[in-house]
Amino acid sequence: MAIDWSSDIAIANLADEPALSDELSTLIERIESAESPPHVVLDFHEVTYVNSSNIAQLLQVRKQLEDRARKLVLCSVTDEVMSVLIVSGLNKIFIFAPDTLTAIASVQIEDTPAS
C-alpha cells in the first residue's frame, strides 16, 4: 500500500473496497505508531466509490497528521469520489492535487523552510 517516496513523504496508491478500508486502517496504524510520521499523499485514481466509513477514516488520517504538523494531499480523485466529497462539504477541508507528482511537489514546497 504505502510506498515511501522519501523519509518525509509516503504515497498510498488506493484501490476500491474492500481494500480501501484495509489500506486506510494500515495507514492510520502507521501514523499512530510513528514517532515522526511522514507527510501523506493518497492516490485515488483507482477508487470509484467511498462510503461513510472511508470518509471517517480519511478524516481520522487528516486529524492525526494535522496534529503532528504534517500534510495530507489527495490526488487523482475520480469524478465519482469528488462528487461525494463535494456533496458532503469535505472538498473544503482536504487539499487536492491533479496527480501524484504535483501532490509531492506541493508538500515539498510547503515543507521547505524559508530562507
| Measured torsion, CA atoms of residues 92, 98, 104, 109, in degrees rounded to the nearest 10 | -70
Tell me the domain boundaries of the chain: 2-97
pLDDT tier at 112, thresholds 50, 70, 90: low
pLDDT, tens digit, 9 for 90 and up, residues 52-97: 999 999 999 999 999 999 999 999 999 999 999 999 999 999 999 9
How many Å apart are CA 52 and CA 57, to the nearest integer?
Answer: 9
**CA–CA dist 105, 114 (Å, integer):** 16
- The CATH classification number of 2-97 equals 3.30.750.24
pLDDT bin (cut points 50, 70, 90) of residue 6 is confident
How far apart are alpha carbons 108 and 113 in whole angstroms?
10
